[in-house]
Structure 1
């Protein structure tokens, strides 16, 4: 992996959020690339339950200050950074007071999904791309983890299709069992269409449940990693029919070798 540039985009990441399958692999996969001489960037949302003082987040003024249009509303983009000290890995946080200041990650204190999770996902996808453009950093691979990140493949291939910095980037999506119950806002497809993405490009999102959101991510990715042992049969069938390079589930102890080989032989070939 020496010299290869890999952009990791994740919904969750330890040590900033509690450990689970998504947050742990979102930490381990960039750590592995970093240890093998690859260049990495990691992006995640700056949820309100992340302790900025403890983790020493600070705003990067030169990257902040842009407004992103979400469903005809101007939303200010704030970029913060922090470092994972023992790995010397820098993490970029996509922030906006309207979308991410609240204390929950995906749900309110009653356990209900936030009604604007669809807009948060759109804002996150656009925020990542616009920030990477400002960094002028062309990734060889873009590796997506977690459902809040799952609109990135669609936006890269459609909304940002003519962006030269991503012309040669390969998109890898890790598919996890961990998702959400129910559906996101039923207006989600219309909000994506507002950005000029034809509705037939993401028709599955007319019902934005977890499986349909991941199906769209799979459709616009170049390769897939089955990151959970128990991916739903519906998603597994969709992945199989997509006919894209797919890494079957491997145990945590096997991931370093398996991911490295997959990147080198299937994604970067």
Structure 2
């Protein structure tokens, strides 16, 4: 079984969020299931020279983009037993950052075409191309149009994964003909047309053989207008090929027993976890007190993450006997909001407006509670990493948060976190106070921490689901 992952980012080379984490870890687990899985990515400037220096040049060729032909080089690197291919074009990818440029439509149109043009040059002909998010949504469209009469491509099938429906890759109608050489027959409602523009993600949904998303609850939610981002009607129509498979995390990377970033390694020991807390307090300049609960947020600072709820109750929260640690960057209004409260409560709130993996791991290990009150959450990885480090999540019951966090019930002694249902600031505050009340019972809290660290949220189970999905597709003649 040969599967090629086409994506815009992957750890450890370059990532902006959860997508990169998934692409960097899921293939390793599929490899254990005897799937020959490889990954193809753009060769961004931001990729560290340590990796670039190890890349081996394979070939180069010209890719037709509208009336032009653009250079494309292909390099190869084997990392942790996975083969990665890199698409090189300095005009499109030799720039800082991954996305957010005015010509993103053209950049990823090139990437989609380059992936397909590269296949005959690789030592690998995939049974399936697994496309991820809007950046690769047009691959399936191109297979249906420009390549379907070429015998080399005829047996290749596609799976399309939606990691976040909010970001769809919507571009002007002119992209259709000027970049893809597609006829106006594709500019219709049941194909690519989207409120007068074209939509890369819609292309992936319509033309791929199967569509997946990153949790079972999110697969249901996106069929309704509230979560559907104007594609709910299409997703209801295509629900026969829509599946939800829950994301996992890389248990080798996120392992409190071996994580070199931690001050003290531990398994499920609350006393050793508290040593990490004390060291974290020292490093961040917070008053050192192992009995003061630390609530952390490690997140992109965006509306999706429920930060408007946090804003409404932050004064009241910081008047409780707690400390808060925030790590991440994002929307200016939330950065400014946290700056104000960090200034107002300098001994209570440590604000870190950047993202860096080693400090993130220290925060996961040194915190007691992890806050993730999302408006919507396709899967969420933060709560899974928090559990791995024995840090108890407080979440809203939506998407993957609902699928992974079972609210603690003191009568049955079941549950691995705390949750609330309605998107309401006072419901969040009530849930935080409830969690803090249980924190005072050290025996109970120790049991909760131990239970969290023993949970298996690795890719083992989900990678098998993906393998079965690929087999199902290959078996269809």
Question: Which residue number corresponds to residue 158 of structure 1?
Answer: 145
CA distance in 2, matches of 1:49, 1:68: 23
Residue aligning to 1:48 = 45
Alignment of 1:149-188 (within 5 A): 149-177=136-164, 179-180=166-167, 183-185=170-172, 187-188=174-175
Separation in structure 2 between the aligned mates of residue 257 and residue 145 of structure 1, nearest angstrom: 18
1:90 — aligned with what?
A: 83
Structure 1 residue 29 corresponds to structure 2 residue 26 = yes
Shift in Å at residue 29 of structure 1?
3.0
- Once the two structures are TM-superposed, the CA of residue 14 in structure 1 deviates from its matched residue by 0.8
Alignment-derived partner of residue 205 in structure 2: 218
Measure, in 1, the Cα distance between the counterparts of 2:36 and 2:168. 36
Alignment of 1:186-265 (within 5 A): 187-192=174-179, 195=181, 197-202=182-187, 203-204=192-193, 206-208=196-198, 212-227=199-214, 229=218, 231=222, 232-233=227-228, 234-252=230-248, 253=457, 254-265=461-472
* Aligned positions, number: 251
1:59, 1:78 within 8 Å by CA — same for their partners in 2?
A: no
Two-structure CA RMSD over aligned residues (Å): 2.4
Query: Which string of whole-angstrom CA distances, capped at 9 and with x for unpartnered residues, describes residues 30-88 of structure 1?
Result: 2222111121221011111111334534351x421x1212122221111122222xx21
- Give matches, 1:96-111, under 5 Å: 96-107=89-100
Secondary structure of 2:26's counterpart equals helix
Q: In the alignment, is the contact (CA less than 8 A) between 1:16 and 1:55 conserved in 2?
A: no
Matched position secondary structure for 2:171: coil
Secondary structure of 1:127 counterpart: helix
Deviation at 1:185, TM superposition (A): 4.7
**Residue of structure 2 equivalent to 1:17:** 14
What is aligned with 1:110? none
Q: Structure 1 residues 257 and 235 mapped into 2: Cα distance closer, same or farther (>3 Å)?
A: farther
Residues 147, 213 of structure 1: 8 Å contact kept: yes
Change (3 A) 1:16 1:166: same
Between stretches 172-181 and 31-40, larger displacement belongs to 172-181
> Which stretches in structure 2 are left out of the alignment for 5+ residues?
249-456
1:118-133 maps to which residues of 2 (within 5 A)? 118-133=105-120
2:162 and 2:147 map into 1 onto residues whose CA distance is 23
Q: Residue 68 of structure 1: which of 59, 63, 87 is its match?
A: 63
Distance 1:263 1:78 in 2: 29
- Rg larger for: 2
Greater shift after overlay, 92-101 or 117-126? 117-126
> For residue 388 of structure 2, what is the aligned residue in structure 1?
none
- The DSSP-based 3-state class of the residue aligned with 2:98 is coil
Question: Which structure is higher in RCO with an 8 Å CA cutoff and minimum separation 6?
Answer: 1
Contact 2:168 2:202 in 1 (8 A): no
The two structures have a TM-score, normalised by structure 2, of 0.49
1:45, 1:124 within 8 Å by CA — same for their partners in 2? yes
* Aligned twin of 2:130: 143
Cα deviation code 1:108-157 (max 9, x no counterpart): xxxxxx12111111211111111111226331111001221111111111
Runs of 4+ in structure 1 over 6 Å off: none
The TM-score normalised by the length of structure 1 is 0.83
Give the Cα–Cα distance (whole angstroms) in 1 for the partners of residues 235 and 39 of structure 2: 25
